[in-house]
Structures are given as structure tokens and as C-alpha cells.
């Protein structure tokens, strides 16, 4: 089967296939990206930012068409797809508007007579390796700040997202990014390794699985290239108390099943105090019952979309079945549809034992796993007993009580009384096995930049 292909997850049908790039095409893309960098970096940052603002405008203008592409590629319901494109546009626009001030030179005091400055300069060609779960948003948060800085980009997207990745390149070119300044490449694994090794390439950013992150991180380290890795998550959502358990359970459910539960910073472990646990689980079960498999292009009321692929749906089903075999209870949902499609009904899973291998696994699908605890300390200890460290949240009517726990969550992002605060200006990233580096907000400008020290003596 061709590596790059559109295989409609609602039907299993392979709709279109694409040839992988030849080594000659990859070399040409590298040449073009390097040449574009030498021209792009000479333009003023305001000029580059104006082009990036135009990119954001084009995303907005084409949002229906872009959303329809990913509905077919990875099964995202149209309304969610439009939301994603709008969010991507807001991130791109944020860097177009605020990027120049975020990258401004900083003068520092000096005991040596003269003027000492820290500059923010581009570094060159960058490689992005992006996942299928948010085909536009993931690219936006990597590409926008780096284009404003003056870097150029080679983008290797997920194998199942060829049309959306080509659409992004088209937008970049239509907006005025110089030819080669942003290039989509249908690269093989071997070609990715060669690109990372190439002296013209100065860094690599990957969003994806732990496994992919460890491979790319190793290759980057071997060739002394800067890397940003945004990997998996198994984020805790601690519920200490609530004056409206049903509403909080609904928020928890909606966030968990959004995008088919295929969200890095999803609230994958709901840790609930014992006095409201039964009510919380009962509310989740209500929400999980009576759902119907729906067409992503025309989603019915109470409908759910397919996962990204049949293999993804089978993996989630296998993980849940193994958890049940280890003593967990499947309270609702969790049905893998027969046939070739990728439908897996959103599920509620309780009673996973701390000793079970399933306790350590990230389930990348629409499965709400719920744990019962009897003290704040137990909740915190359970939350931090995790190999990942992306995000986490704590809920209570007593903000100080929640904050005391949230301040001790071992994660790159900690929240009180909101599952995940997400906006163009807010940083995103993790610790532990969730990777390193930050995207979005002011920190997104600081990863692939030459913070050059510049001194002019008196």
C-alpha cells in the first residue's frame, strides 16, 4: 500500500494515493529551502510578519474547504474541523501581529564600557514532523513563529494527511512566502534521517508518539541539532468537590471525547473524590449511552466520528480489553464496529488497578478512565504516578485547596478549575516522557533562534 494516501476512516476505502518523494526531490527541496532562507532572513521582521498575517487570512477564507479535506483524511467532524482551522488562523495571526515585538533585541547592563545586546536571529532551515490528529493546528504552532523569525521550513506531515499538507503549502505560497520557504515533503523514514543529518538543516520539531520522539531525538542528538519534542500525555483531572457534579462531568466528557479522544493533552485520567465518585461516573455513563456512529461530513445529533484509522480503533479496543482482563470495568460504550471502518464508541472505564500494565498506558481514543480516591494527598500521588508530564487540572469550589495540589502536579501545564486553557498566546509543552521545548505564546518564538550576544565597545 502506498505510504501517503487518503483512506476514508468512515468507510475504510482508499480514495487517493501519492508517490513518496525521490531522493532528488528531497535534495531539491533542501536546496530551495536553504536559498529561500538566505533571501527571507534579509527581509525586515515586519515584512515577514505581514506575509504571515496574510497566511492567517487565507486559512480563514478557506476554512470550509480545509475542514472538508480532514473530514475525509482523518475523520474529524466538519464543525470540529472548522474550529481547528479557526484556531490555527488565530495562532498564525498572533505571531504575525506580536512576533516582531517578541523577537526584539534586549540590551543588558555591562561592566565593560560599551553596549551589550542579546539579539534574536534566525538559524536556517528547520524540519517539522507533524501528526494527523490536528493537521492544521500542529503545523501553525511550529511554522508561524519560525517564519516570522526568518527561518524556512520543510514539513513532513502524517502519511494519512497528504491533501491537507499540500493545501497548507499552497496557502503559504499564495500568501507570499518565497518558493522553498515552506515546502511539504512526502518523505520516507530514511529521507527524514538524511534531512536531519544534512548540514543545511538546523533543527527539528516533532509532535507525535513517544516512540517517534525517541527516534527523532536520537537522530537530532547524533547530529547536534536542536530538537523540540511534543509527545504523549496521560493528563490527570482531579475532582475534589463540586457544587454541580453533572455539569462538571459533562465538561470532562466533552473534553475527553473531543476529536475522537485523539488529543495529546486530553483529561485521560479522571481522579474523583469518593463522596462524589458514584454520581460522577453515573453522569459519564448517561453521556456515553445512545450514541450513534455518524458521517464526519454530516454529523447527526448524538453522533460520534471514526478514529483516524482502523488500526487506531483496533489499538484502543485492544487496550480497553486488556484493562478489563486485568480487572477493570467497562461501564459504557467501547464497541468496535465490524468491518473496515474506524468507529469505536466512546467509553467509560473504571477500576484500573495501579498494578495493571494498563495503568501506565496512554489511551489515544475516546475512553474516560475514572479513579476513586479518598484524600487530597492520594489524589496528588496518583496524578504524579505517571511517566508522562504534559498537563493536568484540579477542580474544587475551594480555589486555595485546588491550587495547593495543582502547584505540585509534575507537568508542563497545570490548571485550576479548567481542564486546559488553550489560546494562541498561551504556551504548550511538557516534561518527563511528554518531551521538551515549548510552542505557542511568547515561548514559541524562543526555540529555534540564535540568541546572539552582540557587543559594541565604547
Alpha-carbon span 5 to 161, nearest angstrom? 7
Kindly name the residue from 230, 283, 331, 362 that is annotated as catalytic: 230
Residue 181 in 3-state DSSP? coil
Instruction: Centre a 10 Å sphere on the Cβ of residue 42 and count the other Cβ atoms it contains.
Output: 9
Q: Which H/E stretch holds residue 312?
A: helix 310-325
Is residue 331 part of the annotated active site? The answer reads no
- Using CB atoms within 10 Å of the CB of residue 20, give its burial: 0 to 12 exposed, 13 to 18 middle, 19+ buried: middle
Alpha-carbon span 448 to 73, nearest angstrom? 30
Instruction: Centre a 10 Å sphere on the Cβ of residue 240 and count the other Cβ atoms it contains.
Output: 21
Residue 362 in 3-state DSSP? coil
Which residues, in sequence order, are bridge partners of residue 329? Answer: 350
- Please state, in angstroms and as integers, the Cα–Cα distance from residue 158 to each residue in 304, 318, 402, following that order: 23, 23, 38
Residue 295 in 3-state DSSP? strand
* Sign, CA torsion 79/82/84/87: negative
Catalytically active residues, by annotation: 230
Amino acid at each position: 500500500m502506498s505510504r501517503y494516501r487518503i483512506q476514508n476512516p468512515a468507510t475504510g476505502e482508499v480514495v487517493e494515493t501519492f508517490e513518496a518523494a525521490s531522493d532528488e526531490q528531497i535534495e531539491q527541496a533542501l536546496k530551495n529551502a536553504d536559498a529561500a532562507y538566505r533571501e527571507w532572513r534579509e527581509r525586515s521582521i515586519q515584512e515577514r510578519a505581514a506575509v504571515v498575517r496574510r497566511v492567517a487570512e487565507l486559512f480563514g477564507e478557506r476554512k470550509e474547504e480545509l475542514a472538508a479535506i480532514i473530514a475525509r483524511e482523518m475523520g474529524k467532524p466538519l464543525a470540529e474541523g472548522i474550529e481547528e482551522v479557526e484556531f490555527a488562523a488565530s495562532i498564525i495571526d498572533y505571531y504575525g501581529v506580536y512576533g516582531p515585538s517578541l523577537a526584539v533585541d534586549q540590551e543588558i547592563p555591562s561592566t565593560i564600557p560599551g553596549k551589550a545586546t542579546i539579539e534574536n536571529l534566525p538559524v536556517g532551515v528547520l524540519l517539522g514532523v507533524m501528526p494527523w490528529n490536528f493537521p492544521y493546528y500542529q503545523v501553525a504552532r511550529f511554522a508561524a513563529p519560525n517564519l516570522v523569525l526568518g527561518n524556512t521550513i520543510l514539513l513532513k506531515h502524517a502519511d494519512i494527511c497528504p491533501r491537507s499538507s499540500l493545501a497548507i503549502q499552497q496557502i503559504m505560497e499564495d500568501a507570499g512566502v518565497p518558493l522553498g520557504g515552506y515546502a511539504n515533503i512526502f518523505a520516507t523514514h530514511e529521507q527524514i534521517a538524511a534531512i536531519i543529518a544534512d548540514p543545511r538543516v538546523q533543527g527539528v520539531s516533532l509532535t507525535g508518539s513517544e516512540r517517534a520522539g525517541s527516534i527523532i531525538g536520537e537522530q537530532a542528538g547524533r547530529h547536534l541539532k536542536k530538537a523540540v519534542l511534543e509527545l504523549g500525555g496521560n493528563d490527570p483531572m482531579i475532582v475534589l468537590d463540586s457544587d454541580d457534579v453533572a455539569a462538571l462531568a459533562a465538561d470532562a466528557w466533552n473534553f475527553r471525547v473531543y476529536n475522537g479522544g485523539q488529543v495529546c493533552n486530553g483529561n485521560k485520567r479522571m481522579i474523583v473524590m469518593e463522596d462524589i465518585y458514584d454520581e460522577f461516573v453515573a453522569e459519564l455513563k448517561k453521556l456515553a449511552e445512545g450514541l450513534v456512529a455518524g458521517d464526519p461530513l454530516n454529523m447527526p445529533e448524538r453522533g460520534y466520528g471514526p478514529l483516524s484509522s482502523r488500526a487506531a480503533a483496533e489499538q484502543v479496543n485492544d487496550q480497553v480489553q486488556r484493562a478489563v482482563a486485568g480487572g477493570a470495568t467497562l461501564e459504557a460504550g467501547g464497541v468496535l464496529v465490524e468491518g473496515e471502518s474506524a468507529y469505536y464508541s466512546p467509553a467509560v472505564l473504571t477500576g484500573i488497578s495501579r498494578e495493571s500494565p494498563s495503568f501506565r498506558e496512554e489511551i489515544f481514543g475516546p475512553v474516560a478512565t475514572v479513579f476513586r480516591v479518598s484524600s487530597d494527598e492520594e489524589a496528588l500521588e496518583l496524578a504524579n504516578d505517571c511517566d508522562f508530564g504534559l498537563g493536568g487540572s484540579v477542580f474544587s469550589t475551594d480555589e486555595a485547596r485546588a491550587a495547593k495540589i495543582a502547584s505540585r502536579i509534575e507537568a508542563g501545564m497545570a490548571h485550576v478549575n479548567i481542564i486546559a486553557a488553550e489560546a494562541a498566546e498561551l504556551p504548550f509543552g511538557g516534561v518527563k516522557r511528554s518531551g521538551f521545548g515549548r510552542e505557542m505564546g511568547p515561548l514559541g518564538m524562543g526555540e529555534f533562534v540564535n540568541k546572539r550576544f552582540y557587543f559594541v565597545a565604547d
